[in-house]
């Protein structure tokens, strides 16, 4: 009787640990911070196309996460996406001419904002704008252009006798 009860308690603890591990995995996959509100400063960048970028996506420098995307809104006047990023306060020495690109982690991974520091001696201020941006590369658009080029007979070779 006692051995059966011990076995049931062991199974219960094992199931509870499994559920806790699944919750932690789900939070990690969905980019939820660990119930903490990181203090930092905000900067914005404007992109022609953000692809699949989402709120809470990572913001990196040299592959190291230094912040997260706070919000994404559409500017009706300039027809651009305005991405507001929350940068952790200890990373307050980003040069004013820093550039931002939207990249993809792996071939089919999630998209994130990669910052490339410039050489300016002045630093980005809270509420500042990143002027140099590169929009997301849309895989479907690239494949469509490639197929259209092949269908139009463009194989990259010049015809004989054609002027350079």
For 35-92, what is each residue's pLDDT tens digit? 455 688 999 999 999 988 999 999 999 999 999 999 999 999 999 999 999 999 899 8
Q: What is the pLDDT of residue 137?
A: 78
CA 82, CA 45: separation in Å to the nearest integer? Answer: 6
Domain ranges of the chain: 1-30, 40-147
Q: Are 81 and 74 in contact (CB under 8 A)?
A: yes
For 81-124, what is each residue's pLDDT tens digit? 999 999 998 998 999 999 999 998 877 778 999 999 999 899 99
CA proximity to 103, closest of 116, 94, 92, 90: 116
Q: Are 100 and 46 in contact (CB under 8 A)?
A: no
Burial category of 69 from C-beta neighbours within 10 Å (exposed 0-12, middle 13-18, buried 19 and up) = buried
Q: Are 83 and 53 in contact (CB under 8 A)?
A: yes
pTM: 0.67
CA 69, CA 61: separation in Å to the nearest integer? Answer: 14
Cα angle 92, 95, 98; round to 5: 110
Q: Are 18 and 64 in contact (CB under 8 A)?
A: no
């Amino acid at each position: 009787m006692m051995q059966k009860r011990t076995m049931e308690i062991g199974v219960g603890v094992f199931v509870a640990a499994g559920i806790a591990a699944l919750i932690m995995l789900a939070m990690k996959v969905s980019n939820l911070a660990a119930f903490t509100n990181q203090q930092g400063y905000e900067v914005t960048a404007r992109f022609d196309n953000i692809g699949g970028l989402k709120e809470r996506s990572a913001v990196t420098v040299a592959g190291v996460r230094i912040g997260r995307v706070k919000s994404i809104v559409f500017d009706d006047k300039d027809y651009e996406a305005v991405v507001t990023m929350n940068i952790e306060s200890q990373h307050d020495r980003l040069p004013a001419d820093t550039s931002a690109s939207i990249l993809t982690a792996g071939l089919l991974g999630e998209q994130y904002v990669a910052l490339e520091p410039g050489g300016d001696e002045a630093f980005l201020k809270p509420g500042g704008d990143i002027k140099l941006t590169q929009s997301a590369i849309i895989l479907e658009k690239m494949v469509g252009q490639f197929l259209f080029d092949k269908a139009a007979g463009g194989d990259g070779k010049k015809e004989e006798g054609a002027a350079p």
